[in-house]
Amino acid sequence: QQQVRQSPQSLTVWEGETAILNCSYENSAFDYFPWYQQFPGEGPALLISILSVSNKKEDGRFTIFFNKREKKLSLHIADSQPGDSATYFCAVATGGNNKLTFGQGTVLSVIP
């Protein structure tokens, strides 16, 4: 049983477009939702995160939209750049600890 689902598995956008990556989860007890970015040969790195008390979090070109009732969230990458080409992981945890459960990831390709 997969606790965190991501879609699509892969996404290709043109430079300058907005990429939208989706995530859903099963357990309503989760209250911390980080997104990690991973480049080939490297470990994942925190990109942006949101707590369940918020429905939106922005950091530059990256925005998380969160719907607690539907247990869904999405990561919007505005003005996508070729350097954004990477794998993006949605993760969940309860705020009391940071033991993360990850989704399967979305591979994003940004074409110049």
Partner 1 sequence: NAGVIQTPRHKVTGKGQEATLWCEPISGHSAVFWYRQTIVQGLEFLTYFRNQAPIDDSGMPKERFSAQMPNQSHSTLKIQSTQPQDSAVYLCASSPGLGFQNTLYFGAGTRLSVL
Task: Please tell me whether residue 26 binds partner 1 under the rule CB under 8 A.
Answer: no
Which stretch in 9-17, 27-35, 55-63, 66-74 sits in contact with partner 1 by CB under 8 A?
Answer: 27-35
CA–CA dist 9, 95 (Å, integer): 27
| Contact flags string 35-74 toward partner 1, x per CB under 8 A | ------xxxxxx--x-x-----------------------
Q: Are strands 86-92 and 32-38 parallel, antiparallel or unpaired?
A: antiparallel
* CB contact at 8 A, 50 and 73: yes
CA–CA dist 60, 68 (Å, integer): 23
**Given the rule CB under 8 A, which residues bind partner 1?**
31-32, 34, 41-46, 49, 51, 89, 93, 95-105
